[in-house]
A and B are shown apart, each in its own frame.
Chain A
Amino acid sequence: MNERWTRALTAIAVFGVLILAWEYASTNGLLKPYKFPPPSKIARGFVELATKGFPKDLTLWVHVQTTVARILQGYVYALALAIPLGFLVGALPLLEKLTNPLIVFGRSIATLSLLPLVIVWFGTGELTKVILIGYGCFWTMISNVIAGVKYVDRTLIAAARTMGVSGLNLYWSVILPAALPRMFAGARMALGVGFMVIVGAEMIGTIEGLGALIMEARTFYRSDITIIGMLVIGVIGFLISSGLMRLERVLIPWDTGLQDVRR
C-alpha cells in the first residue's frame, strides 16, 4: 500500500513539474504558443469546448457521444462477424490452412489506407466510418478467436472424450470455454484498434466526433483544441479498456495465464 502511494505521488510530481515547465516555457517565448499552447490556454479551451462548443454549438459531450457511437457500431458488427467465423475456421484445420494467407493479408493492410477506396464505394457518410472501424476490429478479433480455438490444450479434449463428450458438445462444453480468455484478449485489442482508426475515419465528411474536432481545430490554428481532443480520446479508451478488464474478471474468474496478451 505504502509503495503504491509513493509511486502515485512520484507520477503526479513528475507530471506536475513537466506541466509547470511547459507553461513557463510557452509564456516566456521559449516555445511558440501557437505550436505549444500553454496548459492554461488548454484549460480555457476545455471550458469553451465544454460550454459553448467547437465548432459552434458542438460541445465536447456531442463529440464524445458521436465518436463512441461510431466505434461501438463498427466494433459490435466486427465482433458479431468475427466470433462465429473465427470459431468455424479455428475448428476446421483445412479451412484454417486455406484462409490463413487471407487473414494475414487482411490484417496487414493498414485500415486507413483503404479510406479513399471506401469513400468511392460508400460515399462520405456514416457507413464509411463504421466500415473502416469494423474492418480494423474484425481482423484483430478473428485472428485471436482462431488462435484461441486452435490452441486449446489437447489433453483437455482427450479428458472430455474419456468422459463421453463428443461432436458438437465438445465444442460447446470444452473448446468454447477454453478459448474464452484468448477471445477476450482479442476483444480488448480490437477495441484499441477501433480507437486508432476513429480519428482518421472522422477526418472526412463530418464536423462531429473527436477526430473531426481535431481536424477542425487544425484549420483554425487551435492547437489547444487538438490537444484536448487527443487527451479525451485517450481517457475514453482507458476507461472502456478498464471496464472490459473488470468485465473479464467477472466473466472468466478462473483465468490468470493471459496477463501478457491482455494489453
Chain B
Amino acid sequence: METAAAEVENRMAEPFIVFDDIRMRFGPADEGMPPVLDGIDLAFPKNSFVSIVGRSGCGKTTLLNIAAGLVKATSGEVRIDGKAVKGPGEGQGVVFQQHALFPWLTAAGNVEFGTRTRGLPKEEKRQVARDLLDLVGLGHAVDKYPRELSGGMQQRVAIARALAMDPEILLMDEPFGALDELTRIELQQELLRVWEAQKKTVVFITHSINEALILSDRVILLAPHPGRVHKDIDITLPRPRERTDPAFNEMYQEIWEGLSS
C-alpha cells in the first residue's frame, strides 16, 4: 500500500518524459565495441520542445527509437507521464526522416490511418483527417497520393498523420533532413505553429544547430563513442527567433564549441 502511494507521489513529482539510465549495446559486451548509448538520463516537462543534436553515430536515432518503443534498450527505461514505455503505439507519435507514408493511401487516407487506435466512428475519423490536413496547410490535397506530392508536402502529411493518433508526445527523427533549405525553413515555421496550436511535447532530432535553435526550448548535445549527454542547454531566446540576432549567434557559437570539443 505504502509503495503504491509512493508511486503516485513519484508520478506527481516526476517530469513528463524521463529517460532513466538508458544503455544500449548491439552485440555481446565482450567484443570490445563501445555501447551505442551509455547511461542517458534526461527529463523533459510537458509541452516542451527539446532538440537532440549530435554527430552521426552518437545514437540519437537509437535513443528516439527506444522512446518510440520500436527498439528495446539493453537496460534502463523511458517513462511517459510516469508509465514505462513497453512498445510502440502507446501515445508516441513518430515522424521519420523518410516520410514513410503508405503509397496506396491518399493524404487523407494516411492521416486517417493514424486515428485507428482512437475508436472514433468513421465519419469522425474522416473529419479529424481533414482538420489536420487543414492545420498543416494541405486542405487542398486530401485526395492526392503521396507520389503526387512534393517532399515538403509529404512531410506535412506525415506530421498530420502522427498528430492523428492524438499522441502525448511527438518524436521527430530528422524530419526535415531530406528537404531543401527553403522548404525546410517553411516547415520549421509550420511545425512551431502546429506545436503552439496543439500543445504537444516534442522531442526533435537534428544535426542542424540552426534548426535546433530556431525551434527548441532546450538543446541536448550528445557525444559519440559511447553515446552520452555532453551538454544540456536552455534556449531562452524569445520566439520568433531570427538567425541574424546577435544573441542567436552567441548560442550558435556555444553549441558549435560544445559539438566540436
Contact = CB atoms under 8 A, between A and B. Distances in A.
A158 B171 CA distance: 13
Contacts of A192: none
B93 A162 contact: yes
Interface stretch (B23-31, B100-108, B250-258): B100-108
A201 to B, nearest CB: 37
Contacts of B243: none
A158 B102 contact: no
A153 B96 CA distance: 13
Contact of A164 (B70, B89, B105, B162): B89
Contacts of A163: 89, 113-114, 116-117, 161, 165
Contact of B145 (A156, A178, A253): A253
Contacts of A106: none
Contact of A255 (B68, B70, B98, B103): B103
Interface in B143-183: 145-147, 161-162, 165
A156 B102 contact: yes
B102 A177 contact: yes
Nearest to B96: A155
A160 B158 CA distance: 12
Task: Give the most central of B93, B98, B100, B161: most A CB within 10 Å.
Answer: B100
B76 interface: no
A251 to B, nearest CB: 10
Interface in A158-204: 158-166, 173-174, 177-178, 180
Given A164-B116, A254-B147, A158 B165 contact: no
A164 B89 CA distance: 4
A252 interface: yes
B89 A165 contact: yes
Nearest to A161: B88
Nearest to B70: A158
A219 interface: no
Interface in A135-165: 153, 155-156, 158-165
B217 to A, nearest CB: 24
Contacts of B117: 163-164
B168 to A, nearest CB: 13
Contacts of B145: 253-254
A164 B164 CA distance: 12
Contacts, number: 64
A174 B105 CA distance: 11
A158 B96 contact: yes
Nearest to A156: B100
Contact of B88 (A162, A174, A254, A256): A162
Contacts of A165: 89, 116
B51 interface: no
B128 interface: no
Interface in B110-128: 113-114, 116-117
B92 interface: yes
B94 interface: yes
A77 to B, nearest CB: 28
A148 to B, nearest CB: 13
Contacts of A178: 102-104
A118 B132 CA distance: 61
B180 to A, nearest CB: 21
Contacts of A252: 104
B109 to A, nearest CB: 10
A179 B190 CA distance: 34
B89 A161 contact: yes
B204 to A, nearest CB: 16
Nearest to A154: B100
Interface of A: 153, 155-156, 158-166, 173-174, 177-178, 180, 252-257
